[in-house]
Amino acid sequence: MGYYPVFLDLDQTRCLVVGGGTIAERKVEALLAAGGEVALISPELTAALHALEAAGRLTVQQRSYQRGDLDTVALVIAATDDPALQRQIAADAKQANILCNIVDQPALCSFIVPAVVQQGDLTIAVSTNGASPALAKKIRQDLAEQFGPEYAVALRLLRRIRERLIHEHRSAKDRQRLLTGLVESSLLDYLRDRQTDKLNTLLQQTLGEAYTLERLAFSW
pLDDT per residue as tens digits for the range 97-135: 999 999 999 899 999 999 999 999 999 999 998 788 899
Q: How do residues 52-78 score in pLDDT, each as one tens digit?
A: 999 999 999 999 999 899 999 999 999
What DSSP string runs through 90-156?
Answer: HHHHHHHT-EEEETT-GGG-SS-PPEEEEETTEEEEE--TTS-HHHHHHHHHHHHHHS-THHHHHHH
* Contact present, 44 and 25 (Cβ < 8 Å): no
Residue 50 binned pLDDT confidence (cut-offs 50, 70, 90):
very high
- Strands 122-126 and 115-119 come out as antiparallel
Residue 194: how many other CB atoms lie within 10 Å: 11
The model's pLDDT over 71-102, given as tens digits with 9 standing for 90+, comes to 999 999 999 999 999 999 999 999 999 999 99
pLDDT band for 207, please (50, 70, 90 cuts): very high
